[in-house]
DNA sequence: AATTTCCTACTTGTCAGGCAACTTGGTTAT
DNA sequence: ATAACCAAGTTGCCTGACAAGTAGGAAATT
């Protein structure tokens, strides 16, 4: 009853722009709006959304645009639609999609939280990789370790080789969720570092200690010593986080 | 000269269905198709996608449908579009959205992997919660512990109270990423258990030992003993996983 | 001849209207 | 009372059109 669509006249295509503000696109922004309504608890699970027609009218956008917006929510598992019936807020327990949005790069708190998650994921992955790795896995890991060493010897930072080394380890764990999540977080953090490094002096000279830490991780994996592997990974990640903290504190 | 779209007659609306197979919706399925093209490396970062017009013709669907599909990819950060220029494959390093899809419920391997991730996240969260929790956090955790006890005394399984207890702990850690991820995984696993329980006998009688494990976690948090908190959480999670394994092995 | 300006075709963003498929609830017929 | 049926409402998808922005070549200027 409360949010019944009042028939906004259609004359201005920019009505939405006024209501909703400037954004990436009408559909995107509308999707955000509707998502708000749901996560804020304004719309309860199972409840029926307004019809596309009504939404179209209340926000002053066309139905295709509304469809695009609802399509996003459907894609994220927040709503389910039934042809002929309508669109309904999905049961939170049945949502099968998790979305991690790491948009705000300038937010240092967010970076810290991301790093924390990365540490947890990679430390555990390394721990399990130690006992599960096949000989083939081990060879791959070693190859990347050597490549990293070669890069260090050439005086290069070897960020790509570094990433590949860690990825090979996580891969050896055999859990795709860990692999994908770790990959994403890793890229994200490195991207931040690269951006931050642009306006600060290079710090360099750390690569040798980094490589020593890598060696310690590798040795533990060779021995299939899970506890040692975890410990070595934690040390490595803690040091990496400390290096990163230097960027954060300015 | 504009390449006039040949007036596709109505019946070929099912052309896509033939090309693309039966699915949730044309847009959804098309989105999957296009995603394939990208992640398979067929389309390289920075490369331009076919125009909406072209895609529309090759797949035999209308442009709005193509737009919906591309909109999904855009939403997931896989492509970026520039009005007037086209749609381009996004740089993987710049992707700021992570998507975790846990669709296949029947896949036991998947459940196992999910549980593994859940264990890593919750154990770490509990560890950090021990040192970071405020007194207010502690009160909340205790309240949920008591509620759980009350449920046990009433002879109920207390799944909701259980979930709330863990959520309060993760909340006390103060990292929203951990909170959201843990919440999602927890729901997912419990949902699986509920589904599995439907066709097996209730196992019950475990609730008392569960509560004892909860108490151990709580005590460690009270003492701000991070290591003990992690250990207690790991024990609890390991036991929970073992209980769950009973469902998996049939 | 080199450079700048401008124009035009192309592409994405959005809108309007329409038909088909499906759901739902009430009405009619049995 | 029950079953079959019908009509309104809703989503799924299509066609056609225009606005807004881009890019590359033609034309004008230096």
Range of the domain at B76: 10-94
Q: What is the pLDDT of residues A54-93, one digit of tens each?
A: 999 888 898 989 998 999 999 999 999 999 889 999 988 8
More confident residue, B34 or A42: B34
As for how many domains chain B has, the answer is 2
Q: Are residues B89 and B113 in the same domain?
A: no
For residues B188 and B244, give the distance between their C-alpha atoms in angstroms, rounded to a whole number: 13
For residues B29 and B33, give the distance between their C-alpha atoms in angstroms, rounded to a whole number: 6
CB contact under 8 Å between B117 and A181, yes or no, is yes
Tell me, yes or no, if A234 comes closer than 8 A to chain B by beta carbon: no
For residues B154 and B163, give the distance between their C-alpha atoms in angstroms, rounded to a whole number: 17
Does residue A242 sit within a domain?
yes
Q: Which of A109, A132, A177 to mutate to test the interface with B (most CBs of B within 10 A)?
A: A177
Nearest to A113 among B74, B116, B176 (CB): B176
Distances (CA, A) of B148 to B159, B193, B235, B241: 8, 19, 19, 20
SS3 B133: coil
Q: Which residues of B30-55 are buried (b: 16+ CB within 10 A; e: fewer)?
A: bbbbbbeebeeeebeeeeebbebeeb
Give one DSSP letter per residue of A146-199, joined into a string.
Answer: HHHHHHHHTT---HHHHHHHHHHHHHHHT-HHHHHHHHHHHHHHHHHHHHHHHT
Does residue A43 sit within a domain?
yes
Q: Are residues A90 and A129 in the same domain?
A: no
Task: Name the phi and psi angles at A203, rounded to 5.
Answer: -105, -35
Supply the CATH number for residue A240's domain.
Answer: 1.20.120.530
Would you place residue A18 in the very low, low, confident or very high pLDDT band (cuts 50, 70, 90)? Answer: very low
Q: Is B169 left (phi over 0), alpha (psi -120 to 50) or beta?
A: alpha
Supply the CATH number for residue B87's domain.
Answer: 1.10.10.10
**Of the candidates B94, B128, B150, which is a domain's last residue?**
B94
Looking at residue B132, its pLDDT comes to 96
Whether pLDDT at A101 is above 80 = yes
Q: How far is A1 from chain B (nearest CA, A)?
A: 31
SS3 B74: helix
Does residue A88 sit within a domain?
yes
Tell me, yes or no, if B75 comes closer than 8 A to chain A by beta carbon: yes
For residues B179 and B214, give the distance between their C-alpha atoms in angstroms, rounded to a whole number: 18
Looking at residue A191, its pLDDT comes to 82
Q: Are residues A112 and A45 in the same domain?
A: no
Q: How far is B123 from chain A (nearest CA, A)?
A: 9
CB of residue A10 closer than 7 A to nucleic acid strand C? yes
Distances (CA, A) of B168 to A139, A168, B159, B189: 43, 35, 14, 18
Residue of chain B nearest A98, judged by CA positions: B100
Q: What is the pLDDT of residues A183-222, one digit of tens each?
A: 999 988 888 887 777 665 555 556 677 888 999 999 999 9
**Of the candidates A63, A94, A125, which is a domain's last residue?**
A94
pLDDT tens track, chain B, 250 positions: 332 233 333 333 344 444 443 347 888 889 999 999 898 888 888 888 999 999 998 998 999 999 999 999 999 999 999 998 899 999 888 888 999 988 777 778 888 999 999 999 999 999 999 999 999 999 999 999 999 888 888 877 778 888 999 999 999 999 999 999 999 999 888 888 877 766 655 555 566 778 889 999 999 999 999 999 999 999 999 988 888 887 776 5
* End-to-end CA, chain A: 52
Does residue A101 sit within a domain?
no
Looking at residue A206, its pLDDT comes to 62
Q: What is the pLDDT of residues A107-135, one digit of tens each?
A: 788 889 999 999 999 999 999 999 999 99
Its ipTM equals 0.83
CB contact under 8 Å between A120 and B117, yes or no, is no
Q: Are residues B116 and B214 in the same domain?
A: yes
Q: Are residues B241 and B125 in the same domain?
A: yes
Q: Are residues B89 and B124 in the same domain?
A: no
Does residue A8 sit within a domain?
no
The tokens for A171 are 């891969």
Question: Cβ of A235: how many Cβ atoms within 10 Å?
Answer: 14
**Of the candidates B65, B94, B123, which is a domain's last residue?**
B94
Looking at residue A97, its pLDDT comes to 92
Q: What is the pLDDT of residues A165-191, one digit of tens each?
A: 999 999 999 999 999 999 999 988 888
Does residue A169 sit within a domain?
yes
Q: How far is A109 from chain B (nearest CA, A)?
A: 9
Give one DSSP letter per residue of chain A, joined into a string.
Answer: -TTPPP---SS-TTHHHHHH-S-S-HHHHHHHHHHHHHHTTSS-TTPBPPPHHHHHHHHT--HHHHHHHHHHHHHTTSEEEETTTEEEEPPGGG--EEEEE---SS-HHHHHHHHHHHHHHHHHHHHHHHHH--HHHHHHHHHHHHHHHHHHHTT---HHHHHHHHHHHHHHHT-HHHHHHHHHHHHHHHHHHHHHHHTS----S-HHHHHHHHHHHHHHHHTT-HHHHHHHHHHHHHHHHHHHHHHH--
Q: Is the dihedral of CA B14, B78, B101, B184 positive or negative?
A: negative
Q: Are residues A76 and A152 in the same domain?
A: no
Least confident of A4-8, A47-51, A157-161, B20-24: A4-8
Q: Are residues B118 and B242 in the same domain?
A: yes
Q: Are residues A79 and A120 in the same domain?
A: no
For residues A107 and A111, give the distance between their C-alpha atoms in angstroms, rounded to a whole number: 7
Q: Are residues B136 and B206 in the same domain?
A: yes
SS3 B24: coil
For residues A50 and A86, give the distance between their C-alpha atoms in angstroms, rounded to a whole number: 8
Residue of chain B nearest A176, judged by CA positions: B113
Q: Are residues A43 and A127 in the same domain?
A: no
Largest CA distance in chain A: 73
Q: Are residues B146 and B229 in the same domain?
A: yes
- How far out from the chain centre does Cα B8 lie? 40
Largest CA distance in chain B: 79
Does residue B120 sit within a domain?
yes
For residues A196 and B196, give the distance between their C-alpha atoms in angstroms, rounded to a whole number: 49
């Amino acid at each position: 009853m409360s949010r019944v669509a009042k028939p906004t006249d259609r004359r201005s295509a920019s009505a939405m722009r006024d209501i909703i503000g400037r954004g990436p696109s009408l559909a995107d922004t509308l999707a955000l709006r509707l998502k708000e309504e749901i996560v804020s608890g304004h719309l309860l699970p199972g409840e029926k959304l307004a019809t596309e027609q009504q939404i179209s009218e209340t926000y002053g956008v066309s139905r295709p645009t509304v469809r695009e917006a609802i399509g996003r929510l459907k894609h994220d598992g927040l709503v389910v639609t039934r042809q002929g019936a309508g669109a309904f807020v999905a049961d939170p327990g049945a949502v099968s999609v998790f979305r991690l949005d790491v948009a705000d790069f300038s937010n240092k708190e967010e970076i810290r939280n991301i790093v924390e998650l990365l540490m947890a994921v990679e430390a555990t992955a390394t721990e399990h990789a130690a006992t599960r790795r096949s000989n083939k896995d081990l060879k791959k890991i070693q190859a990347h370790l050597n490549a990293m060493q070669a890069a260090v010897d050439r005086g290069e930072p070897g960020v790509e080789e570094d990433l590949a080394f860690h990825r090979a380890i996580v891969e050896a764990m055999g859990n795709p969720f860990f692999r994908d999540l770790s990959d994403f977080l890793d890229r994200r953090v490195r991207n931040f570092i690269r951006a931050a490094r642009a306006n600060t002096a290079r710090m360099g000279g750390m690569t040798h200690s980094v490589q020593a830490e890598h060696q310690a991780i590798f040795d533990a994996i060779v021995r299939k010593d899970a506890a040692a592997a975890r410990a070595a990974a934690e040390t490595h990640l803690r040091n990496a986080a400390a290096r990163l903290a230097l960027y954060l504190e300015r």
